[in-house]
Amino acid sequence: DAGVTQSPTHLIKTRGQQVTLRCSPKSGHDTVSWYQQALGQGPQFIFQYYEEEERQRGNFPDRFSGHQFPNYSSELNVNALLLGDSALYLCASSLVSARQGNEQFFGPGTRLTVL
Amino acid sequence: AQSVSQHNHHVILSEAASLELGCNYSYGGTVNLFWYVQYPGQHLQLLLKYFSGDPLVKGIKGFEAEFIKSKFSFNLRKPSVQWSDTAEYFCAVTPAHYGQNFVFGPGTRLSVLP
């Protein structure tokens, strides 16, 4: 049973560029959430996708956008990159109809460095 | 808005010492509570979770946590730590509704000296 996978593992970009990160949820899961984890901090919620729509959004600017595909995989897009966007980007999947609440399973993350 | 605080930024213990990491949250409704661990170079892994029922929950690797509703706390404990417990520990809370996002605490770094 494959867990949550993310690609790429590492990415280096320059200020002003755009980046796309990808996530495949755990088998059987239908909901994908994205988090940003800056160095030395806890993950911060960016947004969540369910049924190909953004269902919730954290306190992140519109430069951060996403998409969910019919196979439940997801992309995170960041435009006009800033130095402060350097972080570990985590994808988490869950099953919205799970009986036992909303446990989320996390992927290994994509390390984004903006120069 | 929900928030989570963790009492200690960095804890240093010797092997076999007992561990307690504090976690407090602010949210007025029913919550689900989690402790995640992040070992160096690895991804977040679930240690334990509380949804309902017995407020004392047991997780993997000998960890346990107690939910005290009146104190809005969910402290993590282990009676005897090992060097391999060296990691970053995150407390997280989410409203007890399906599909809700997590709010994480800032994390506590645990260093266990051999």
Query: What pLDDT was estimated at residue A101?
Result: 55
Q: Do B102 and A50 touch (CB under 8 A)?
A: no
| Among A41, A97, A109, beta carbon nearest to B107 | A41
At A9-25, the pLDDT tens digits run 999 999 999 999 999 99
Cα-based angle B105, B111, B114 (whole degrees, multiple of 5): 160
At A51-108, the pLDDT tens digits run 999 988 999 999 999 999 999 999 999 999 999 999 999 999 988 766 555 678 999 9
Mean pLDDT of B14-18: 97
Interface A-B: count of C-beta contacts within 8 A = 66
Query: What pLDDT was estimated at residue A10?
Result: 96
Q: Which two tokens stand for residue A49?
A: 């996708």
Q: Cα(first)–Cα(last) distance of chain A, in Å?
A: 37
Residue A114: pLDDT above 70? yes
Integer Cα distance of A1 and A111 in angstroms: 25
Mean pLDDT of A36-64: 93
Q: Which two tokens stand for residue A9?
A: 């593992």
Q: Do B99 and A96 touch (CB under 8 A)?
A: yes
At B103-114, the pLDDT tens digits run 999 999 999 998
Higher per-residue confidence, B78 vs B98: B78
Q: Which residue, among A102, A83, A114, has the nearest Cα to B32 in the 3D structure? A: A102
- Per the CB < 8 A criterion, the answer to whether A98 and B98 are in contact is yes
Q: Do A48 and B99 touch (CB under 8 A)?
A: yes
Note the Cα B53 to chain centre separation in Å.
Answer: 18
